């Protein structure tokens, strides 16, 4: 299982990245 920590995930590129990875099955820790 792949996991990722993304900071700045509330808007912009961080949010888009978090949503895309979550959609591909990653475990996303967003802050």
27 pLDDT band, cuts 50/70/90, is very high
DSSP code of residue 1: -
Position 1 scores a pLDDT of 82
pTM of the model: 0.83
Position 4 scores a pLDDT of 98
The answer to whether residues 31 and 5 touch, using CB atoms and an 8 Å cutoff, is yes
| Segment 4-26, tens digit of pLDDT | 999 999 999 999 999 999 999 99
Position 17 scores a pLDDT of 97
Strands 27-30 and 3-6: parallel
Q: Report how far residue 11's alpha carbon sits from residue 9's, in angstroms, rounded to the nearest whole number.
A: 6
CB neighbours of residue 23 within 10 Å: 9
């Amino acid at each position: 299982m792949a996991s990722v920590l993304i900071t700045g995930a509330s808007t912009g590129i961080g949010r888009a990245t978090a949503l895309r990875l979550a959609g591909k099955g990653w475990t996303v820790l967003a802050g």
